[in-house]
Amino acid sequence: MSRIFYPATAEQLVAAVEAVYVSGKADAASVAHFCDLPEDHAKRALGLGVDLGFLRNAGSVFEPVGPLCRFLILPDEEAKAAVVRILIESYEPFQLFLDRLRATGSVDAAARQTRELLDLDANREEVKDTLISLGGYTRAIRAEGAGRYSPVEGDAGQALVRLGKACDDMASAEKQVRQMLGTCADAVSRDNVFRPLAEAALKAMASQAKEAVTAGGNAVESYLSELASRMNVNVANAHGINAKLEEFQKSAKLSKKLVGSGKYLGYVRNAADHGVDSDTGASWAIQETTGRNYVQVACSFIRACYEREHDGPFMI
């Protein structure tokens, strides 16, 4: 039986893995919407993500696997390339392709031989284009001009250096978020709230305002879901930040002013995440200052909710 091969570019792979990671789990249709890709392209990128070990297929949805997915949502393109480089070092089609490229000096011959030796179900051009994209993105392959490519020898260790720098950047962002959350930093969910806030801070620092709002909004909604379960508020049918806040206000668990400040986070997140606005007929551009402020307001809002849950002072 032929081995399934998923043709995709490295950029599509990274975008699809990021979409799954920030969502926790996602199907192909939602990934296609998030990445602005045709659904068939999204499916192939997700399949490649599974093959490389970034994702697992859990029925109709995909879920992130292991700690490396997290680095694909960072604003540092070098760190993203380093993570992909680490995983393609054990991806059989890519390693065989490099071996055959060294032996033949021809990407066409290397792709054809890789396809035949592994009995891949894609055509030669799909195999060649995918593996060249992965190699070029990760700097494992160098373009020589006139359609010629060569492997870059002895550079794999640099991927670990770049990944180490990314770890330092993430640690710095986590320190910043911990300071903003104050006493509740250790009380919130690390995976669903704290880490997404740190990722939002990194995006904001890199002037990726829309992405900062999306990550920060996910953290706030996750926090409200967890808070609702502890405060006996039913948010099962409340989708989005503002809908959940309405349920808190109906049950008198959060004050009107605190709910109002939280709705700012919901409205800005909707503007960043929902494409064309039916009220304006256009998409919203998210300013860099909005991205930076969003993370700060999200942390302040979560801290204020934590104080109310524990009968602390009223703050906003």
Q: What is the mean pLDDT of each run of 10 residues along the chain (316 residues)?
A: 92 93 88 92 96 91 86 80 88 94 94 95 94 93 88 65 65 85 90 89 85 91 93 89 92 89 92 78 87 92 91 82
| pLDDT of the residue at 129 | 96
Do 118 and 168 lie in a common domain? no
| pLDDT of the residue at 165 | 64
CA atoms of 28 and 42, how far apart (whole Å): 6
- Name the strand (E) or helix (H) holding 25: none
| pLDDT of the residue at 164 | 61
Do 148 and 235 lie in a common domain? no
Residue 183 lies in a domain: yes
| pLDDT of the residue at 260 | 92
| pLDDT of the residue at 156 | 54
Backbone phi, then psi, for 218, in 5-degree steps? -60, -40
Do 147 and 3 lie in a common domain? yes
For residue 17, CA distances in Å to 64, 84, 116, 190, 236 come to: 7, 11, 28, 20, 27
Do 209 and 284 lie in a common domain? yes
Could you tell me the pTM of the whole model? 0.64
Do 146 and 42 lie in a common domain? yes
Do 24 and 131 lie in a common domain? yes
| pLDDT of the residue at 316 | 79
| pLDDT of the residue at 158 | 62
| pLDDT of the residue at 52 | 93
Q: Report whether 80 contacts 14 (CB < 8 A).
A: yes
Give 105's contacts (C-beta < 8 A, 6+ positions apart): 148, 150
Domain end position, chosen among 122, 153, 184:
153
Do 62 and 137 lie in a common domain? yes
Residues facing residue 120 across a β-bridge: 3
| pLDDT of the residue at 243 | 93
Of 113, 157, 114, whose CA–CA distance to 138 is shortest? 157
| pLDDT of the residue at 161 | 59
Domain end position, chosen among 124, 153, 182:
153
Of 195, 186, 223, whose CA–CA distance to 74 is shortest? 195
- Name the strand (E) or helix (H) holding 140: none
| pLDDT of the residue at 219 | 93
**Number of neighbours of residue 66 by Cβ within 10 angstroms:** 11
